[in-house]
Structure 1
């Protein structure tokens, strides 16, 4: 028999009754039933109930055990009485009568319990993450993550992709976030960067002729944390393909992602129809470039009904260039109480409020509009709005006006809130959509033109498109949205040096600067670069959706806290004077 175990704690069944066995694990829970001890012994594989009475040689030692002590048990497998069988456990038909025990690893008093799913402050959970990971829910999430990654690898190999690893220490690259810089000891005053993504390397792999690449890639970005984003590092399924167009990427990715959600989605329906929604249309209808299509509400422009109308606030607003009024339909939301609640929601989001109309039955049996806006507009215009939005008695509409960039995000959040409040959002399913036709450029606050997304994307229309208004140029860029989250971002790449130089020139990068910052890739493109493209899927976010979690830290084994600190390992930490001298660095006092 092994020194530590003959079986795992999830292995014994009725077939083992009468056997002498040995188990090792953690004391999950101890129950004293008047001279009979019941111990739930736990390991990675499951739980086995151990019993000991006063006749057992192990009784005295077991009686003193603290929760989470690691022990070895020798004993005999017994069948439970029929009335005591636990159908929820694979080992629920048996128990082990303890004949001997040894403490392998004693435990101090616990800072947080492992048994049960009590809520504990996140700071405590992260400081004692090794204990937190013993809890069922988190342990299961991490195992789900491992299974998802294994399934991804199998699915990619099945499509003839080859896995390669790209460098972790590299040069800085503009990916839209801050780099983590690494000082060079051998080259004082110079810095490496941790890769925000393997972007340039995977394109160079295509230039090198490898055709189909993928990697479960670690990425490093110095970002502000959110519930669905890690502030330091994350993992993505990174892939790239040669001699393809945008549709080829879609056809490759859909079976992988859809298959994952069907395999691990706990039976929740996975919509096989993945619509293509242009970026501008997505912002108009949903107020977001990652719409939750489980919510059927689509916003519409209703400016014409308010222009030169009796509702002075919007009428005056519409006299300004670039302004419009949008309506958020709210089927079944036709009550003043609900309208006031949504108005308060808009105020919480930083807006003065949100106008509304709701429709009700009039005394003569007809449908009439109610609310301050309805009174100001009059019956004809409110009826036209109702018809345009396809609403009826018992429904409502909410209105936001101004320059879209100033209210679009709030409108999107209001749409989501209305869908949830009214029970319109279809929970417990997955709906996907490709968001396409992203703008290549945007205007910054200081009026300069800059890239709005990936700078290495091919502009639609090639060089000819770049000779016009930069703000009208669309890229072959695409995102995959699911249930309100961005899961994938990708593009068909710009593989022609002359188009790349022109694209960067419009964003303020001169020829010499492009050569300096991206010289490796520019050089490679001069020696025969194939048309290529790809994308990256956020593994942490995928697992978060599959595990039905609201916070990404619930699916990462050792995450940082909201302030990008590792409370368990004490990072970031101050370097020693010796380290600073060796790197020829000096730390400035905090301002």
Structure 2
């Protein structure tokens, strides 16, 4: 028997019990005549004691050779600990060891296996299996499991059936680039790894499954950014005979359930906001509403005076930063430098301090008097003690820049409390978006999204104004879920493909199987997919998904632990029909 108890469960009531424990040596303290060793497993830490007087000599001698991370088994008796540790569950006891077996020796680890480690991120990713032994990483993985089980329990009780869909599918031209897999048996042909199970879950609705879900791996060969993984996990869901309201209600329920079960937090309201409103009010379609700083459109007011920068701008827009009138000139200059960074791209920033006495001091006092600035304060909802920050330029670009500034200021002012949760539905997205590079429309979500019925007529006259029957669930400034009501008839789907630039032959080649299925009685249906990694991270009070994934890739998409991706040998390439062929010479 390797263990009668785990290293986290022995307490005062177990004193005088004979026990067997197994685990890893956290550390040893050798005083010459007595050795204390912390033994660790997934469940906790128990202090062992090897006493020169009470421990067999051979066992005591062997204990002197123990190093960090040795795997051992011990037999011994639970005794009361003289110097108790109230900070650990096993802090009232220790185990007087009678027998010791070294199950496996260990090299000295490249970083300390403790909560606060001396290992940098790169070295910890290379030795991820050692990093997982640390409480913060292991606890994140246990937390991820708890969230997954709560998702499964909620959806199962709501009548959803979990169905696995294929990983080897057909490559499609929409969305991000696919990861492709060569077929040995069909030389020159390739599978793709799914970016989502979209078409399969729609086919399950045609098949009459009614309510489907899957916690599923998805893959996108995208240019990587910080905190984006080439493989990620979704909670993928689809329902038949539903309208948008049905889906929003079910998944509000799921989110409430998770917040209550995982965080013991009750959420009363899920406010709703149109895409247009989100862009005008916050400058992006996933606003963090835990704090205010709503945009105030100052264009009409600002352009009444002869300040050239504002006069020539398409949009002049500002925010009121709470309590920031106390910022020094040096702090404001740093803020101006921040918005001028290439990542943000603003040419500058105008500011106005709303002093506690009701007066104003601005960087444009030469052009705007106290009455003008008072109107700015009214539009931005500024109060005495606030700082009004104003950007100007092209409409969309300026909104994006001010949105970035708003989030940066919220970080600096500690307004983004990770233990506060503010969900929000964003609805009525544009169906199509214009791509300057290809000079054609692309689906903002995907080509199976249904347009709002009342907007279908606009497809011919003004396709950019057609709204999608689509919705995103935002939590604390992060999109955690998105979905839509789907097209479920062949005629409308063919029309959608046409507006996306597919000729009929291309649409048939890529999606003929789905179009054919619609001819056999497809029900009205819709669904949603949650980004599971992101959801877990936010519920865990963080925004870094890598900390909640067992074996993540780095920012370059590499697994530095197993050194992947990696070349494969020429024989394998030849088998796959990918061998390098010699060019014949005439």
Q: Cα distance, 1:345 vs. partner?
A: 1.9
Is the CA contact (8 Å cut-off) linking 2:294 and 2:380 kept in structure 1? Answer: no
CA distance in 1, matches of 2:119, 2:486: 46
Structure 1 residue 155 corresponds to structure 2 residue 154: yes
Specify which of 443, 450, 467 is matched with residue 451 of structure 1: 443
Structure 1 residue 525 corresponds to structure 2 residue 518: yes
Structure 1 residue 7 corresponds to structure 2 residue 2: no
Pair 576,288 (structure 1): closer, same or farther in 2 beyond 3 Å: same
Q: Which residue of 2 aligns with 1:246?
A: 244
Is the CA contact (8 Å cut-off) linking 2:4 and 2:20 kept in structure 1? Answer: yes
Normalising by structure 2, what TM-score?
A: 0.94
Pair 587,193 (structure 1): closer, same or farther in 2 beyond 3 Å: farther
Q: Secondary structure at the match of 2:377?
A: helix
CA distance in 2, matches of 1:240, 1:509: 26
Pair 587,158 (structure 1): closer, same or farther in 2 beyond 3 Å: farther
Is the CA contact (8 Å cut-off) linking 2:227 and 2:555 kept in structure 1? Answer: no
CA distance in 2, matches of 1:464, 1:527: 26
Is the CA contact (8 Å cut-off) linking 2:323 and 2:386 kept in structure 1? Answer: yes
Is the CA contact (8 Å cut-off) linking 1:294 and 1:427 kept in structure 2? Answer: no
Q: In the TM superposition, what are the counterparts of 1:436-515 in structure 2 within 5 Å?
A: 436-446=427-437, 447-461=439-453, 463-515=456-508
Structure 1 residue 371 corresponds to structure 2 residue 362: yes
Pair 40,498 (structure 1): closer, same or farther in 2 beyond 3 Å: same
What do you get for the CA RMSD once the two structures are aligned? 1.8
Is the CA contact (8 Å cut-off) linking 1:161 and 1:213 kept in structure 2? Answer: yes
Q: Secondary structure at the match of 1:356?
A: strand
Q: Secondary structure at the match of 1:292?
A: coil
Normalising by structure 1, what TM-score?
A: 0.93
Structure 1 residue 434 corresponds to structure 2 residue 456: no
Structure 1 residue 299 corresponds to structure 2 residue 292: no
Q: Cα distance, 1:480 vs. partner?
A: 0.8
Range that drifts further, 420-429 or 398-407 = 420-429
Q: Secondary structure at the match of 2:270?
A: coil
CA distance in 2, matches of 1:390, 1:139: 45
Is the CA contact (8 Å cut-off) linking 1:463 and 1:499 kept in structure 2? Answer: no
Is the CA contact (8 Å cut-off) linking 1:459 and 1:465 kept in structure 2? Answer: no
Total equivalences in the alignment: 572
Pair 537,114 (structure 1): closer, same or farther in 2 beyond 3 Å: same
Q: Which residue of 2 aligns with 1:320?
A: none
Q: Which residue of 2 aligns with 1:276?
A: 272
CA distance in 2, matches of 1:175, 1:444: 13
CA distance in 1, matches of 2:416, 2:151: 29
Task: Provide structure 2 residue ranges, at least 5 long, that are not aligned to the other structure.
Answer: 582-586
Q: Cα distance, 1:238 vs. partner?
A: 0.6
Q: In the TM superposition, what are the counterparts of 1:31-42 in structure 2 within 5 Å?
A: 31-42=29-40
Is the CA contact (8 Å cut-off) linking 1:332 and 1:422 kept in structure 2? Answer: no
Is the CA contact (8 Å cut-off) linking 2:418 and 2:538 kept in structure 1? Answer: no
Q: Cα distance, 1:97 vs. partner?
A: 0.3
Q: Which residue of 2 aligns with 1:234?
A: 232
Q: Cα distance, 1:157 vs. partner?
A: 0.6
Q: Cα distance, 1:69 vs. partner?
A: 0.5
Specify which of 400, 411, 416 is matched with residue 409 of structure 1: 400
Q: Cα distance, 1:463 vs. partner?
A: 3.8
Is the CA contact (8 Å cut-off) linking 1:441 and 1:450 kept in structure 2? Answer: yes
Range that drifts further, 556-565 or 53-62 = 53-62
Structure 1 residue 20 corresponds to structure 2 residue 18: yes
Q: In the TM superposition, what are the counterparts of 1:187-266 in structure 2 within 5 Å?
A: 187-230=186-229, 232-265=230-263
Task: Provide structure 1 residue ranges, at least 5 long, that are not aligned to the other structure.
Answer: 318-322
Q: Secondary structure at the match of 1:142?
A: helix
Q: Secondary structure at the match of 1:457?
A: coil
Q: In the TM superposition, what are the counterparts of 1:354-365 in structure 2 within 5 Å?
A: 354-360=349-355
Q: Cα distance, 1:587 vs. partner?
A: 6.5
Pair 556,587 (structure 1): closer, same or farther in 2 beyond 3 Å: farther
